[in-house]
Copies of this chain bind each other. A is one copy, B any other.
């Protein structure tokens, strides 16, 4: 990889000081990391880099899963970790203004102390930053109720490739004063601008959480149950997480960390949750709705969490993904498939994987928002053909008009498969936008699409 020229590095050191330019060896990511402490510094460093044609990779908590931070042409890292202040929690307007490097959980807990909910919730909450959440349009567990990060962002401050600061820390739900510029940068994975500050819309903190694990006899019941629960819980349904037996049976196997709350042997397990305002009434209502669903044969078994620790135990089953990595090399998938095609899609993936000796395949996902996660691997590393698995799965995604990325983004990992989901016309528009905002291609180059596409 090319090394940044010494003159530029000297200028950056002068601008950012000792703490602002660090060497941090890593096999894949840039080894020199810039750590500005203000928007002004971000603006000035971008201007210097742009003039020198020096590429940078902006990053947050580095919890992404699509190789979005990998060095490709000798980039500098640009970490927002020193810009991590919670600038304001506005209880009246119910907004939270944070610097991009603020860790999601830190922001969420500060809001909680004021009786307010920052609704984004995902596994990496303790490390991921709000800026990273915006740059990747993070999703997570509560999208059916609160939407993705895009739906929570009211205001944004972004630094463009040439150092221009675009600041609109809007706090209002309605604002139709011309083009909604912030939308351009949300989910652009740091290729169009560096996010420096964010205004997040907050909600009132729920006072009750009701969680259950239910079993369904077929996928048709799963989808009908989703509609039923949504219709009967009046806007409070916040999670509908489906686990196939390949996931559930392994995570709760004998000798695992978890006791199975429901017996093995059912075709589908679903974690459902509502967030309400009246602890006692909500629990009664939740039990009644699930009872009715059972009576109407939308499900065949259920266990309702009776305490905070039982609720936590159910979520821990759903979140226990890492264990599968120990089984052998894996290919991870984060795809969207419309609910009507999910069963066929999974069946085709399973048929394909079952044809490979020593393979394993695991399925789970946020069925309520079309998002499936697959873990496809092989206990015999030598028999593992990642490229073939990826090609096969993404072709199936294309066949069923799904998306190669539901919530993780594209990065390097899905770049070659983007055409399965986006037409050439759409890709050309993306290239034009990139050329317009970053003509020297210095912001996270080669991510989402290759540099030659925007040359």
Contacts and interface: CB of A to CB of B under 8 A. Distances in A.
Contact of A339 (B93, B139, B408): B93
A144 B150 CA distance: 16
A205 B231 contact: yes
A225 B378 CA distance: 58
Nearest to A140: B174
A92 B205 CA distance: 31
B178 A430 contact: yes
Given A180-B150, A231-B207, A174 B92 contact: no
Interface string A368-408: 11110000000000000000000000000000001111111
Contacts of A236: 234-236
Interface stretch (A28-36, A105-113, A184-192, A263-271): A184-192
Given A172-B338, A339-B93, A177 B418 contact: yes
A354 to B, nearest CB: 27
Interface stretch (A70-78, A273-281, A313-321): A273-281
A278 B180 contact: no
Given A93-B338, A234-B277, A236-B235, A187 B181 contact: no
B176 A407 contact: yes
A329 to B, nearest CB: 25
Interface stretch (A10-18, A44-52, A162-170): A162-170
A291 interface: no
A56 interface: no
B278 A234 contact: yes
Given A183-B184, A436-B436, A403 B176 contact: yes
Contacts of A421: 175, 177-178
B144 A422 contact: no
Contacts of A147: 147, 151, 173
A416 interface: no
A282 B178 contact: no
A203 interface: yes
A174 B230 contact: no
A341 B423 CA distance: 46
A143 interface: yes
A403 B177 contact: yes
Nearest to A151: B151
A359 interface: no
B170 A426 contact: no
A264 to B, nearest CB: 28
A404 B235 CA distance: 32
A285 interface: yes
In this complex, the interface size class of chain A, counting residues with CB under 8 Å from chain B, is 35 or more
Given A204-B230, A207-B231, A281-B285, A175 B336 contact: yes
A246 to B, nearest CB: 21
Nearest to A150: B180
Contact of A148 (B145, B174, B205): B174
Contacts of A235: 145, 234-236, 275-276
A234 B275 contact: yes
B429 A181 contact: yes
Contacts of A231: 115, 204-205, 207, 277
A156 to B, nearest CB: 11
A173 B370 contact: yes
Nearest to A404: B177
Nearest to A369: B173
A179 to B, nearest CB: 5
Interface string A115-156: 100000000000000000000110100011101101100000
B426 A181 contact: yes
21 contacts: A139-B174, A143-B174, A144-B173, A147-B173, A148-B174, A164-B425, A166-B426, A168-B422, A174-B369, A174-B370, A177-B403, A178-B422, A179-B184, A179-B433, A203-B230, A205-B231, A234-B277, A235-B235, A235-B275, A235-B276, A236-B236
Given A174-B366, A177-B414, A184-B184, 10 more contacts: A90-B340, A91-B227, A145-B235, A147-B147, A176-B403, A178-B418, A181-B426, A183-B183, A234-B236, A235-B276
Task: State the 5 A-B residue pairs at the shortest beta-carbon distance, nearest first.
Answer: A183-B183, A173-B369, A235-B235, A234-B277, A172-B370
